[in-house]
Structure 1
Amino acid sequence: MKEMSLEELWQLYPIILKDHNPNYQSWYAEEKQRLLHILHDYDICRINHIGSTSVEGLIAKPTIDILLELPKYYAVNDIAQLLQNDDWILMQKDDKQRTLDLGKGYTPNGFAEKVYHLHVKPLGDWNELYFRDYLRQYPNVARQYEALKLGLKERFEHDRDAYTYAKSDFVMEQSQKAKLEFAGRYLPPEH
C-alpha cells in the first residue's frame, strides 16, 4: 500500500459502528489459535478478546481487539517481526513501555471482512480487561457507552484519534470503578 497521510487513511478507514455480530467470538478464537501457532516458541502469559466486540449486544466498530500479554522482558523486536511476517501491520511500537499495536484487515480498498487490532503488552493489571468486564456486568453502563460512541461517530467519523480521545474520560472513569469492584482480578502473580 502506498504511503498515505493521516487524513487519507481516515477517509479510507472511517469510524463505522455496527450492531453486535455473533461471529465476533469465533473470529477472535480463530485468530487466537493463529497467534498461538505463530508464537509457539514464546511464553504467552494471557490472551484476551477485549473492546466492544467482546461485549455481547454492544454496538461496536467491527474490529476484533485482542490483548496479548507476554513476560515483562519479552523480545519486542522479534515478536514484531514474526507478526509482520504474518501480515500484521505495525502501527505503533513503544520501546520504553514495551508495547506493540498492530492491525490486520486494512486493505488498499478499505476494510476487509475481518479486521483485527492486536495490543501486545507485558503481563499487567490492564484497564482494558476491567473495562470489558464492567460493561459485561452492567448493561446500563454498556448502553451509556454505546450512546456516547454513536454521538461521537457523527462528529468524528473521519478522525479516529479525536474519536478515541473523546471516549477516554468515560473509559477511564468506568475502568477505575471496575478496578475497585474487581480489585486484583488481573494482577500478575508475584515471581
Structure 2
Amino acid sequence: MKVEVVPHNPQWKNAFKVESKQIAKAIGENIITIHHIGSTAISTIYAKPIIDFLVEVSDLALVDERNTEMEALGYEAMGEFGIKNRRYFRKHNLLGIRTHHVHIFEVNSPEVKRHLAFRDYLIAYPQVAWEYSALKRKLAQKYPEDIEGYMDGKDRFIKDIEKKAVKWYGDR
C-alpha cells in the first residue's frame, strides 16, 4: 500500500457528512451516533486521504446482520480485524485506493473514548497536533511503500498521546 500524507482538504468534512448518511441507512436503527475521527477530522494536520468513521451502536451483534447493506455501499466487511468487540469495514475507490474506514463499537466502549479523546486532544493542543503531523510526513517519506513501517513509526507517539488524552478527556 502506498503511503501518502497530504495537507488537510476542507472537502473531507462534507464527504464525511454525505457518507455518514449512507452508513446510517445501511446500519439502521441500531446506530446511536457517527463521529468523524482520524487525521482527516483535524483541520490543522496532514493526513492520509482516508476518512475514518467511528460508529456507536446499541448492539454490536446486530451489525453483522447488516454486512450486505454495507457491501452494497462498496465496503468490505472485515469483522473485528484485530480489535476485540469492533466491527471494521473498509472501502476503496475504482482505482483500488482506500478511501474510507468504518470502526463500529457498542456505545460506551472504552475504544470510543480512546478515539474521541485522541482527536479532541489534538484539536485542543495544536503544538502536539503539529508534532504528530510532522512525524507522519517524515514517516511517509521514509516508508513510501511500507504501511507497516509507517504505522510502527507512529505507534509510540500515538500511545504516549493517548494516555495523556484519555486522562485529559476524563478530567473535562
Determine which of 91, 94, 105 is the counterpart of 1:121: 105
SS of residue in 2 equivalent to 1:93:
coil
In the other structure, the counterpart of 2:150 is 163
Q: How far apart are the structure 1 equivalents of 2:21 and 2:127?
A: 33
User: Post-superposition shift, 1:138?
Assistant: 0.4
Moved over 3 A (4+): none
| Residue correspondence of structure 1 range 72-91 to structure 2 within 5 A | 72-90=59-77
Are 2:14 and 1:23 equivalent residues in the alignment? no
Are 2:56 and 1:69 equivalent residues in the alignment? yes
> Which structure has the larger Rg?
1
In the TM superposition, what whole-angstrom CA distance separates every residue of 1:117-168 from its partner, at most 9, and x where no partner exists?
A: 1112222132111110011000000010011101111222212122112211
Gaps of 5+ in 1: 1-9, 186-191
Q: How far apart are the structure 2 equivalents of 1:22 and 1:128?
A: 21
Determine which of 147, 165, 171 is the counterpart of 1:178: 165
SS of residue in 1 equivalent to 2:110:
coil
Alpha carbons of 1:121 and 1:165: their partners in 2 closer, same or farther (altered >3 Å)?
Answer: farther
Q: Is the 8 A contact 2:90 2:102 kept in 1?
A: yes
Q: How far apart are the structure 1 equivalents of 2:88 and 2:76?
A: 9
User: Post-superposition shift, 1:62?
Assistant: 0.8
In the other structure, the counterpart of 1:136 is 123
Q: How far apart are the structure 2 equivalents of 1:38 and 1:76?
A: 10
- Across the two proteins, how many residue pairs are aligned to each other? 168
Alpha carbons of 1:38 and 1:84: their partners in 2 closer, same or farther (altered >3 Å)?
Answer: same
SS of residue in 2 equivalent to 1:116:
strand
Of residues 76-85 and 140-149 in structure 1, the stretch that sits farther from structure 2 once superposed is 76-85
Which structure shows the bigger proportion of residues in helix conformation?
2
Q: How far apart are the structure 1 equivalents of 2:36 and 2:14?
A: 11
Gaps of 5+ in 2: none
